[in-house]
């Protein structure tokens, strides 16, 4: 069984050596451990340090974002024949010594994806505000997407090969919400294990502060809800506009039967506008739902195409998947 440990990097020369040194050299049940670095346009010695440690290096000419770096890592791992894929951060937030525990549910077949649970609302390095926001954010995400995973934004994850073939990264910002929403909708088994966290070594490069993180995560979640739960999303908007329209219409009728309705015609017009908007939301939900059905068929086709592509049987010629990708660029 082959394990590929993926580390997206952007100017991580200060911490990369520490992260690499802690990665286990042998794991029971794993025949081959391969460490790959996705250098996302670094301008420091990141690639040099990775090469000195014997890591496989995937390079981006410019910084494309964590989502794209993760996608490049997944493609390289599938091409190299990975059975299990672990993603961790280069800032040493996640203790690499927990990789054997993280991959156990995937190795035993009890989970397609395993996520390291930091219990963020208890992390001593987080400020009280960050703990509250992390707890609230995770609660919202869990209820919206229908999962019991406690730490939905943890980047310390293990994936089976089958789950990698099923999932499709669609964002540059971060893959964590993208992949967990898809996993839930595709009925993939997701589990979590408790892990500690190391003290922070630097500020996050994904966002400037917790509020920017909330905004980016929130907009990403809304986008994913529109894609994967369109009827629910637009249905809520339709109800939210229809109820006040109904209340305003009833209010007008009361005034009308009391003989004082002439002074409230504008209320009736406003109610009509809200009903029209509500109807548009409902129609949008129906159309998005129908498009979603087509998306599911497309995802199934893409799954089989990727399965053939990364098995090496996609082409009868001599081009490997990596050479084919380069020829398309």
pLDDT band, very low/low/confident/very high, at 207 (cuts 50, 70, 90): low
The residue-averaged pLDDT of 124-132 equals 69
Whether residue 181 is predicted with pLDDT greater than 80 in this model: the reply is yes
Q: What is the DSSP string of 95-118?
A: -GGGHHHHHHHHHTTS-SEEEEE-
Tell me whether residue 112 is exposed, middle or buried, using C-beta atoms within 10 angstroms of its C-beta: 0 to 12, 13 to 18, 19 or more.
buried
Q: Please work out, in degrees rounded to the nearest 5, the angle formed at the alpha carbon of residue 144 by the alpha carbons of 148 and 237.
A: 165
Q: What percent of the chain has pLDDT over 90?
A: 51
Residue in 83, 84, 87, 92 with CA at minimum distance from that of residue 72: 87
CA-CA distances (angstroms) from residue 264 to 252, 253, 267, 270, 272?
Answer: 6, 10, 5, 10, 13
pLDDT band, very low/low/confident/very high, at 185 (cuts 50, 70, 90): confident
Q: What percent of the chain has pLDDT over 70?
A: 85
Q: pLDDT, tens digit, for every residue of 254-313?
A: 888 887 767 677 888 899 999 999 999 999 999 988 888 888 889 899 999 999 888 865
Q: What's the pTM?
A: 0.78
Whether residue 321 is predicted with pLDDT greater than 60 in this model: the reply is no
The residue-averaged pLDDT of 233-254 equals 91
């Amino acid at each position: 069984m082959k394990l590929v440990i993926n580390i997206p990097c952007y100017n991580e020369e200060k911490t990369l050596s520490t992260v690499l040194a802690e990665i286990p050299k042998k794991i029971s049940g794993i025949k081959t451990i391969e460490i790959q670095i996705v250098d996302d346009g670094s301008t420091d010695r990141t690639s040099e340090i990775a090469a000195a440690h014997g890591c496989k290096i995937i390079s981006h000419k410019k910084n494309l974002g964590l989502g794209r770096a993760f996608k490049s890592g997944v493609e390289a791992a599938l091409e190299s024949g990975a059975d299990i894929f672990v993603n961790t951060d280069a800032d040493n937030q996640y203790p690499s010594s927990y990789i054997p525990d993280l991959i156990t549910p995937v190795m035993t077949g009890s989970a397609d994806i395993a996520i390291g649970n930091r219990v963020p609302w208890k992390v001593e390095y987080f400020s009280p505000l960050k703990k509250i926001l992390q707890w609230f954010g995770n609660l919202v995400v869990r209820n919206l997407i229908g999962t019991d995973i406690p730490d939905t934004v943890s980047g310390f994850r293990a994936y089976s090969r089958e789950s990698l073939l099923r999932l499709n990264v669609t964002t540059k910002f971060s893959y964590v919400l993208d992949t967990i929403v898809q996993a839930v909708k595709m009925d993939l088994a997701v589990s979590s294990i408790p892990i500690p966290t190391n003290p922070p070594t630097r500020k996050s490069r994904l966002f400037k502060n917790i509020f920017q993180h909330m905004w980016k995560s929130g907009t990403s979640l809304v986008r994913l809800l529109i894609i994967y739960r369109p009827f629910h999303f637009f249905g809520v908007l339709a109800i939210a506009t229809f109820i006040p329209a109904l209340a305003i219409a009833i209010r007008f009728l009361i005034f009308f039967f009391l003989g004082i309705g002439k002074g409230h015609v504008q209320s009736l017009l406003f109610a009509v506008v809200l009903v029209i908007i509500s109807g548009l939301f409902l129609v949008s939900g129906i159309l998005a739902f129908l498009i979603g059905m087509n998306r599911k068929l497309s995802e199934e086709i893409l799954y089989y195409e990727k399965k053939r592509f990364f098995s090496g049987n996609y082409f009868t010629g001599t081009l490997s998947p990596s050479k084919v990708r380069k020829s398309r660029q």
